[in-house]
Amino acid sequence: MTRHYDPRKRILVTGGAGFLGSHLIDRLLARGDEVVCADNLFTGAKRNIEHLHDHPRFEFIRHDVTFPLYIEVDQIYNLACPASPIHYQHDPVQTTKTSVHGAINMLGLAKRLKARIFQASTSEVYGDPAVHPQTESYWGNVNPIGPRSCYDEGKRCAETLFFDYHRQHRLDIRVARIFNTYGPRMHPNDGRVVSNFIVQALKGEDITIYGEGQQTRSFCFVDDLIEGFLRFMDLPKAQDGGPGFPGPINLGNPGEFTIAQLAHKVIQQTGSRSRIVHRPLPADDPMQRRPDISRAGELLDGWKPQVQLDEGLQLTIAYFDRLLSEGSATPHIQAA
């Protein structure tokens, strides 16, 4: 399949000052697009986009997606939502609002503009999965009333809204279910496992494994993920001769590791003397997670992750090492 791309679009990226959003914006600008980043800076940081300050094709708007946005663009990537458990549990009502009202507002905008719209969904829609690895046809195993529900159910409801706008209003949607992704520009104190372990190891602090560390995750390096976003978004619509596939598609790296294995890799790669300590396993923490990425491979020109965990960790460790030596790590948002 040949990929098709019309250069120089005006593209809105919500959540563009965050970890994934800022990498996405770099790629869009590098290929010639104009980018508007809308972000309320809840978990994002100006630092992630400060290198774009004087870029002639970049614009930042401080905006909360739970309110409507009036703007003219050709495409929308909707990434606005805190992604780490301590951030999304900090104000759970706001998290659900961000996913649900944010989706309604961005879908309304896309409908008025007849613009293609991408949704950053998540492997959390599968909850604590009883099917392994997870295929897109699996409906999931989600607790609707637990501490993770504000995120999981918010993202599930957003998917529902995307597919209803697609069916009801013929909106051109692209829904990607993202599995754990890591890399430079993760928030150093956001509590996600890769950033936590690396920062702890570099500071010589205890490495905190929750539970026995036998739960698994599959870790995707950010560059691979963003390549998947762009290929998915660039698939032509059905009337242009393409598959016009709305999704959902899984995007992630199928390499699966226990959390204990990750801790050992980080210790080894940093040469740290940190000790491993165990802390209680949070409620509803999924026991296993691995994407089946066959659908993405078939649709997206053979897309598959190129950076494996050892190499990706090296790049991420180098980033945090620089960040810590500059003293730019900011304090925790405490869980509610």
CB nearer to ligand UDP: pick between 96 and 196: 196
CB nearer to ligand UDP: pick between 238 and 335: 335
- 231 near ligand UDP (CB under 6 A): no
Query: CB 248 → ligand UDP: shortest distance, Å?
Result: 18
Is residue 222 within 8 Å of 305, Cβ to Cβ? no
Q: In whole angstroms, what is the distance from residue 195 CA to residue 191 CA?
A: 7
Query: CB 152 → ligand UDP: shortest distance, Å?
Result: 10
Query: CB 5 → ligand NAD: shortest distance, Å?
Result: 23
Please pick, from the candidates 92, 236, 255, 282, the single residue that binds ligand UDP as defined by CB under 6 A.
282
Query: CB 27 → ligand NAD: shortest distance, Å?
Result: 14
Please pick, from the candidates 106, 193, 220, 249, the single residue that binds ligand UDP as defined by CB under 6 A.
193
Please pick, from the candidates 59, 256, 284, 285, the single residue that binds ligand UDP as defined by CB under 6 A.
285
Please tell me the count of residues contacting ligand UDP according to CB under 6 A: 15
CA distances from 166 to 87, 104, 204, 242, 297 (A): 30, 13, 50, 17, 23
Cβ burial 73-103 (10 Å sphere, 16+ → b, else e): bbbbbbbbbbbbbbbbbbbbebbbbbbbbbb
Query: CB 120 → ligand UDP: shortest distance, Å?
Result: 14
- 266 near ligand UDP (CB under 6 A): no
Q: Which two tokens stand for residue 27?
A: 């790629």
Which amino acid belongs to residue 265?
Answer: K
Q: Which two tokens stand for residue 217?
A: 């995750």
Per the annotation, the verdict on 77 as an active-site residue is no
Query: CB 154 → ligand NAD: shortest distance, Å?
Result: 9
Please pick, from the candidates 180, 218, 272, 316, the single residue that binds ligand UDP as defined by CB under 6 A.
180
Element (H, E) at 301: none
Please pick, from the candidates 66, 108, 135, 210, the single residue that binds ligand UDP as defined by CB under 6 A.
210
Please tell me whether residue 189 adopts helix, strand or coil conformation. coil
- 121 near ligand UDP (CB under 6 A): no
Binding footprint of ligand NAD on the chain (CB under 6 A) = 14-15, 17-21, 39-44, 64-66, 79-83, 98, 102, 120, 122, 178, 180-181, 187
Which is it for the CA torsion 192, 193, 195, 196, positive or negative?
positive
Q: In whole angstroms, what is the distance from residue 103 CA to residue 230 CA?
A: 20
Nearest to 95 by CA among 84, 106, 105: 84
Q: Considering CB distances under 5 to 8 angstroms, the limit depending on partner class, which of ligand NAD, ligand UDP, none binds residue 25?
A: none
Strands 220-221 and 173-178 come out as: unpaired
- 155 near ligand UDP (CB under 6 A): no
Residues 40-45: contacts with CB within 8 Å, 24+ apart?
A: 40/64, 40/65, 40/80, 41/17, 42/82, 42/87, 43/18, 43/82, 43/83, 43/84, 43/87, 43/187, 43/190, 43/333, 44/15, 44/16, 44/17, 44/18, 44/19, 45/17, 45/187, 45/330
Q: Which residues, 56 to 95, sit near ligand UDP by CB under 6 A?
A: 84-85
CB nearer to ligand UDP: pick between 85 and 102: 85
Please pick, from the candidates 215, 250, 270, 272, the single residue that binds ligand UDP as defined by CB under 6 A.
215
- 196 near ligand UDP (CB under 6 A): yes
Catalytic entry in 88, 126, 151, 182? 151
Q: Considering CB distances under 5 to 8 angstroms, the limit depending on partner class, which of ligand NAD, ligand UDP, none binds residue 217?
A: ligand UDP
Is residue 221 within 8 Å of 182, Cβ to Cβ? yes
Which amino acid belongs to residue 175?
Answer: V
Q: Which two tokens stand for residue 1?
A: 């399949």
Q: Which residues are catalytic?
A: 151
Interface positions with ligand UDP (CB under 6 A): 84-85, 180, 191-193, 196, 208-210, 215, 217, 259, 282, 285
